[in-house]
Every structure is written in structure tokens, then in C-alpha cells.
Chains A and B, each alone.
Chain A
Amino acid sequence: MSQEELLQDIRSHGYWRVEVHSTDYQSNRLSSRAAMQDLLNRATVSLRGWPYPYYRAEETTYNAKWLEGQVSWDYFREYWRLYESGQWLHYLGLRGARISRERLFQGRSPLPPQHTGYLHVRGDVLFTFTEILRFAVGLAQGGVLDPTAFVSIQLHNTKDYMLVEGFERFFPHEYVNQSDRPIEQQYKLPVSELSAVADQTALEMSVRVFEVFGWIPSEAAVRTLEEDQKKLVERRL
């Protein structure tokens, strides 16, 4: 599948768009493919079955300006670029509209109401934000975000997606995104602070997404999310 076709496919459903770079543009922070691959080897986050990003050195393409990678397998869709400047750009498809309801909610009866897609509170939102922010920490540790990191995370095409608390059980109420506007969040943080606040920032960003869907998590719910996030980062899931 060509890059254009893959991007078109990703954009045809709900997807993430992630942009991470320094606030200070320098065109040649990563001057070779080896430097880019080395950075990705160190920064890739593997906390659950599927890493962030999907990166296999042998499956990447390099054109002297950027290294790119892509995957289109089962319900996984990704396209990413790491530029010479250290800029990271990533399009990541959501699974919740690419899998049938029956497969997504295996064994559940009755199935949840029919919606365009489904967004899992932890698996799709909290854990993804956590991985993205931790990946940004990895980039920062590789020195490509100095002195201040800019992180933009957008969630697109999730109108009529329903928020699910778990595939095995649902919220007592239906939380559905009624808006077709992208949910965009941006942060600028000195790289020295990034690693200290990454997980907390991921949690806060997740809560903002939930609010768009109409779910305002209580203090207790936030605490539970925090515990689940801890389990993820300690690989206890």
C-alpha cells in the first residue's frame, strides 16, 4: 500500500495525529539513518503487546530527509516519519471502527448500541497518551527536543464513537462524541521537566478527551485510571 493510500485509509476512520518537536528548529539534529534508527531503538515504548510506534528497522525507508515506517495489518494502521530535524509525525488508526462489534465485544450479550466506533477508556485513550508521552521523553533523552519540547496530539473523526469502560462491561450511561471537530491538545515543556510530568500529563489529556465524550470522571474514577496507568508502566497488566 502506498503512503497516500495508507494515509487515506487511516483518515477514513478515527485516528490519532501526533506531532513532537523542539520549539527551536534545527535542520540537522539527526544527520544519518543510523542516528535516527538508534534514537527509535531507544525511544520506542513497549508496555503492552503492540509497541508505540510500530518500528522495525528493516521495514523503514530513508530518503536523507526523513525515515518513515508504516504498518497495515489486521486492524493496525500506522504511518510515521522521523525527520532530520528531530521532528516526529505519526498517524495512528483507532481500532474501534475497524473491528466488528461482535469481535470487539466478544462474549458480551447484549452488545452495546450500534455506533460508528468504540473507544476504550484505557486501551485506546489513557494507554495511548501514556505511550506517546513516554515516547516523547525518549526523544528528549536522545537530545532532539532541546531546549523545549512541543507536543501536539490530535484525535480525529470520532464523531458518534462511544466511550467504553471495558469490552467486558459498559458504563451505566452512554458517552458518545457528538462533535466532528478534532480533539487537539498541545503542550510545551522544558525537556528537563518532561519525564517528571509525562504520565500525569497523559492522564490529564485523557480526561479532556473523556470530557468531550460527556464523561467527567469523578475523583475516584481518576484514581482508578491512575492505578491502571501505573500497572501499564510497571508492565503488570
Chain B
Amino acid sequence: MPNTVDLQFYIQHRREERYLEYKCSMMWTGNDVTKVKVAKAMMAMSNLSNGGVVVVGMKELERGVWQPDGMSEQQVMSFNHDDIAQWVNDCAVPSVQFEVESFELDGNRFVIIKVREFDRIPVVCRRQKTVGGEDLRAGAVYFRSNRKHESAPISSDEDMRELIELAVDKGVAQEIKRLRELGLIPAEPQPHAEPEARESSALNYAQEREGL
């Protein structure tokens, strides 16, 4: 789980980033619109390199400008890991890996959901759900684009390429690790020692600069 300084940063940052999504104060239970919104964000974050963070308890003052708002005790308590996992992972395959933590800052309480990057295969939405104008699309691969910080199905070749590259890199890295463990390829090479700059070279450069 992120440390306190990180949690504080997420709240005080006040603008969404590719890896950081804000949500207004809400109850998890009894509100399927919330569930759809959060699930979408979590699936998108899990398809990012290094995952991402959803902070619940913020308020959008004007477009793109957020401020801490805080949540009631009841709202915070409703964000239970098992309940979220059950609902989100019923829609996601493979499962989204995440941690949930409540955090207090300046008297306000927040829920922070830290989503981990997918393990081997990108997360795909497998259930169609439409609730109150919000929908999850079966077969969609949710992502947060470089160009627009929004959790949405992949719609550009650029985003798809980025995700494929991430998946391929992870696959290759895991395969190399496996081959190393089996002793089929040599251990990671050690960085070579950097030769010292020749003193005479340094002196020549200094003379050339004439004291500048």
C-alpha cells in the first residue's frame, strides 16, 4: 500500500493524472452507478504500466480542478475490499488486483483504491452493464490514454500499441526470468566499471575554458 506521504500527495494534487482518478463522495453499496464508474476506472488503471490510484471523496470545483471534500463514516465503511473485488472481478477478466485504504487528511476522510498493473494478460471487461447512463461494455479493454485522462474503452491504435507493448515486455521479462532460473541463459550482466577520466583531459578542457 502507498505510504502516508503518497496518500497525502494524491489528495492534495487536485488534478487528475493518467494514473490518478478522482471520484466524488459516494456509497459503494446500493448504488450501481458508483460501481460501474469505479469498475471502469479500476480496469483502466490495471492496464497501465505501474497501475494507478482512484481517490474517492473529492469534489470537482470547475472542469479539471478538484478539491478535497471528504466522506462520511458510512460512505467510507461501504468501500469494503471483498465487496468491491466481488463486484469488479465479476466484470473483469483476469481479476483486477488492488488494495483499499481509508485515509484522513485535515479532518476529511477519503478512500484510496490502489490498483496494480496486470500480471500477464491485460484486463478485459466481460459483462455488459448499463446503469443510470453509465455502462460497462462486454469485450471492451478499458484504458487511460496519454492524451485524455479518462477511463474509456481503447479506441485508438496508439493506445492499443502501448498496451500490447506492455504485455509483450512483461511476457518477455517473465520468460527471461524463467530461463535464468532454469540456468538456460546466464545471470544478468553486471554494469562495467566506468573508467576514470584522464586527469590530463580534464585539465585540457579547463584550460580551454580560460576560467569560464
**A residues whose Cβ falls under 8 Å from a Cβ of B:** 7, 19, 21-25, 27, 65, 81, 83, 85, 87, 89, 148, 150, 169, 172, 188-190, 218-221, 223-224, 227, 230-231, 234, 236
List 20 A-B pairs, Cβ < 8 Å.
A23-B201, A24-B198, A25-B200, A25-B204, A25-B205, A65-B208, A81-B212, A85-B205, A87-B208, A87-B209, A148-B194, A188-B194, A218-B5, A218-B9, A220-B10, A221-B9, A223-B50, A224-B17, A227-B17, A234-B146
Q: In the complex the two chains form, what is the Cα distance from A25 to B209 in whole Å?
A: 13
Complex contact B208–A83 (CB within 8 A): yes
Kindly provide the distance from the CB of A182 to the nearest chain B CB, expressed in whole angstroms.
15
Q: In the complex the two chains form, what is the Cα distance from A204 to B18 in whole Å?
A: 21
Residue of A87, A172, A218, A231 touching B6 (CB-CB under 8 A): A218
Q: Chain B residues near A218: list those with CB within 8 A.
A: 3, 5-6, 8-9
Q: In the complex the two chains form, what is the Cα distance from A36 to B205 in whole Å?
A: 17
Complex contact A220–B201 (CB within 8 A): no
Give the number of residue pairs across the A-B interface with Cβ within 8 Å. 75
Kindly provide the distance from the CB of B203 to the nearest chain A CB, expressed in whole angstroms.
8
Among B150-185, those with CB < 8 Å from A are none
**B residues whose Cβ falls under 8 Å from a Cβ of A:** 2-3, 5-6, 8-10, 12-14, 17-20, 50, 53, 146-147, 194-195, 197-198, 200-202, 204-205, 208-209, 212
Q: Chain A residues near B212: list those with CB within 8 A.
A: 7, 81, 89
Q: Chain A residues near B147: list those with CB within 8 A.
A: 236
Q: Chain A residues near B200: list those with CB within 8 A.
A: 25
Q: In the complex the two chains form, what is the Cα distance from A7 to B202 in whole Å?
A: 23
Q: Chain A residues near B205: list those with CB within 8 A.
A: 19, 21, 25, 85, 87
Kindly provide the distance from the CB of A183 to the nearest chain B CB, expressed in whole angstroms.
19
Q: Chain B residues near A224: list those with CB within 8 A.
A: 9, 13, 17, 20
Q: In the complex the two chains form, what is the Cα distance from A35 to B195 in whole Å?
A: 29
Complex contact B208–A188 (CB within 8 A): no
Kindly provide the distance from the CB of B109 to the nearest chain A CB, expressed in whole angstroms.
18
Kindly provide the distance from the CB of A70 to the nearest chain B CB, expressed in whole angstroms.
13
Q: In the complex the two chains form, what is the Cα distance from A231 to B208 in whole Å?
A: 38
Q: Chain B residues near A25: list those with CB within 8 A.
A: 198, 200-202, 204-205
Kindly provide the distance from the CB of B188 to the nearest chain A CB, expressed in whole angstroms.
16
Known A25-B205, A89-B209; contact A220-B195, beta-carbon cutoff 8 A:
no
Known A85-B204, A219-B6, A223-B19; contact A150-B197, beta-carbon cutoff 8 A:
yes
Kindly provide the distance from the CB of A56 to the nearest chain B CB, expressed in whole angstroms.
21
Kindly provide the distance from the CB of B132 to the nearest chain A CB, expressed in whole angstroms.
31
Please give me the residue from chain A that is nearest to B50 by CB atom.
A223
Q: In the complex the two chains form, what is the Cα distance from A227 to B6 in whole Å?
A: 16
